Chains A and B, each alone.
Chain A
């Protein structure tokens, strides 16, 4: 089969661009896909018309859209769906192969991400209710109603949710899927190496009966992304700390940045540290360590060396394997330079006397590896002497974490912003302090891996509150 052509979707309408770029299969010159690129001004034009897309979605009730989303989930997981413009169909297994060929992700990881996305589709009713705090969906259909006996009305803040998607993590598509049930059309800019997942999700929604106007897909260059970011009513994007800083005062923009997620063990549980090694290994290495919800710093009151050795020994078992090996858990880098840059950053931090690579004695070979034409970084656990070390609080796109000792009483003052914190403790007083800590976005108490999250609670912002604002209203009899 020739490489499929992924077109631009303009409110569901297929547009084949004259600006076509090829995405190769990693490590080869063979084309995996041809992609139509949109010019920035076209996107600006189309943004003016997004009100029509929202009107198309508003013809459905939220309940109908929830049902469509649930159906779409089954279709996404199990059905053959169109891929490209030439009428070709793609099975779920072909989707796995296509995504693996351009992203470097192992098949097993892609299947895990599929399952995760399937869960978001399937739980859309719970997620919608959770994010809207139990709102009767009829309120959005009618425009007003009651919630817990109080009058409520919500108006949409935007005609579109624009998402600038990354190339390295298909699961992030979970963030926008609920927008459809909330009657807000999506405008997606796929990552260069990952058009597959947003495309397949859109096709699943269409087959499930969603109006095509609800979906716009614009592969585009930097200027196109810039146009989306500056013009769209609500924008979700992914970036580093500088990106977060750039948009921190723009209410239209929600930046999903580095998570600096942490795993804390309390003084009351530290003698039982061996019981938590499995959870620590999963927290650091799940999804090849690429998620902002993966643990990047482990904070313990004592036994730092022992815990570092135990976790490092287990992490070192995760090796670069063939992409189709069912045991493969480590992802290669689609951009080969990334692996070199990251490795250099780790080595730079290790030049300090206060940082040691605990994985070095267990792993085979160097951290940087090549296999099947791709660059890999083997999991790395760094034992650091204090939070002042360069590598104490760092996050990289591979399984990486530090272990630092710190008295429990000082932990919350030192951890800084943390998207997820798992705290293993039964200490009531400390638990209260943890709940009161403004630096923690998501909190798990007990033996919960940081990467296991529930979508019915806000994740880096509440999607419903991002897309809707509550308005005051009164309705009186007309004289």
Chain B
């Protein structure tokens, strides 16, 4: 696919989603009411992705303050939905409803995985936040889709964040050790080929056992930002250069942005992620004037637009910043590189707690 073809595909997707989400038969009460309140019709005004700036930034508080039923598209009315949560240390967390999106996202992701390192039929283990998170079902679906089963070890990041805020770092270590004990037991005694976990948990498992030495060939990792040095450490030392490290960037609201694991070394372990276009689009924007897209090679804030039939979310400003990178022959659209917490150089952010 060329960049022009990718753009045409995305523009077509935008038009399709405008029709879907702003028509009475298929749209959800939230967006239909919004359309009435602003007095313009996105079906008329938004004809391409460039027009998406006509929308204001999606506020994730809406996912806490609005009832979930208001996000159910009329086309899905009457179908029970999954509720997936994001964030939340105290109070009501933000929630997103869904049906099949996570399956689509992870089946699409599966196509990017190497069969050599993520063998079909191999079993998986997921070590990380499960509970009400989309990831819990998504990773198991990925394992099943590839013909394997999935073991789970849970970690509650909300509790970890509370411990960190209280400066109870010993408790953090003890809780992490508790999680690790469970993970290590499963890895040692069951046939596992693939793992999903977060970078810090991966390193923590690697402190206890040889991950590659216990038969794990591929590691799909996500959750926090990673410096190139940290990525190199994980690939060359934690995974001993034997298992493949596959960094991803994503969340409950987007799905999965993929990287180019086979090119990590030649890129000095600087990770560039490509959104699952046209289902979701990442744009690097000027934090002060968010309608402006930054130039290639420049840092800016990450803006996400999700364009699925189940969920429309225009211009959500992520709590991350990244470098705008050029399209790649494999992914003919912009990438986002060296993701780090927004304002990382000027403020203290609790990030990467697990």
Q: Which residues of A contact B (CB under 8 A)?
A: 17-19, 37-39, 41-42, 44-45, 48, 226, 230
Is A230 a contact partner of B169 (Cβ separation < 8 A)? yes
- Given the known interface contacts A226-B169, A230-B169, the answer about A19 and B207 at a Cβ–Cβ threshold of 8 Å is no
Is B229 a contact partner of A18 (Cβ separation < 8 A)? yes
Could you say which of B38-46, B230-238, B299-307, B309-317 contacts chain A?
Answer: B230-238
* A37 neighbours in B (Cβ, 8 Å): 229
Does B12 count as interface, using CB distance less than 8 angstroms?
no
The 6 closest A-B pairs by CB, nearest first: A41-B203, A19-B229, A18-B228, A18-B229, A39-B230, A17-B229
- Given the known interface contacts A18-B269, A44-B203, A230-B173, the answer about A39 and B229 at a Cβ–Cβ threshold of 8 Å is yes
Shortest B240–chain A CB gap in Å is 11
CA–CA, A48 to B200, complex, Å? Answer: 17
Does B170 count as interface, using CB distance less than 8 angstroms?
yes
Is A230 a contact partner of B207 (Cβ separation < 8 A)? no
Contact of B207 among A17, A18, A44 (CB under 8 A): A44
CA–CA, A477 to B173, complex, Å? Answer: 46
Is B233 a contact partner of A19 (Cβ separation < 8 A)? no
CA–CA, A226 to B353, complex, Å? Answer: 14
Is B228 a contact partner of A19 (Cβ separation < 8 A)? yes
Is A45 a contact partner of B237 (Cβ separation < 8 A)? yes
Shortest B227–chain A CB gap in Å is 5
* B230 neighbours in A (Cβ, 8 Å): 19, 39, 41
Shortest B49–chain A CB gap in Å is 34
Shortest A159–chain B CB gap in Å is 16
Interface of B is mostly: helix
Does B268 count as interface, using CB distance less than 8 angstroms?
yes
* A17 neighbours in B (Cβ, 8 Å): 229
CA–CA, A41 to B176, complex, Å? Answer: 14
Q: Which of B190-208 contact A (CB under 8 A)?
A: 200, 203-204, 206-207
* A226 neighbours in B (Cβ, 8 Å): 169
CA–CA, A214 to B284, complex, Å? Answer: 46
* B268 neighbours in A (Cβ, 8 Å): 18
Q: Which of B68-110 contact A (CB under 8 A)?
A: none
Q: Which of B229-260 contact A (CB under 8 A)?
A: 229-230, 232-233, 237-238
CA–CA, A328 to B169, complex, Å? Answer: 44
Q: Which of B173-228 contact A (CB under 8 A)?
A: 173, 200, 203-204, 206-207, 227-228
* A39 neighbours in B (Cβ, 8 Å): 227, 229-230, 233
CA–CA, A473 to B258, complex, Å? Answer: 61
Q: Which residue of A has the minimal Cβ distance to B173?
A: A230
Is A42 a contact partner of B233 (Cβ separation < 8 A)? yes
Q: Which residue of A has the minimal Cβ distance to B352?
A: A223
14 contacts between A and B (CB under 8 A): A18-B227, A18-B269, A19-B227, A19-B228, A19-B229, A19-B230, A38-B229, A41-B203, A41-B230, A42-B237, A45-B203, A45-B207, A45-B237, A230-B173
Shortest A34–chain B CB gap in Å is 14
Shortest B333–chain A CB gap in Å is 26
Is B269 a contact partner of A48 (Cβ separation < 8 A)? no
* B232 neighbours in A (Cβ, 8 Å): 18
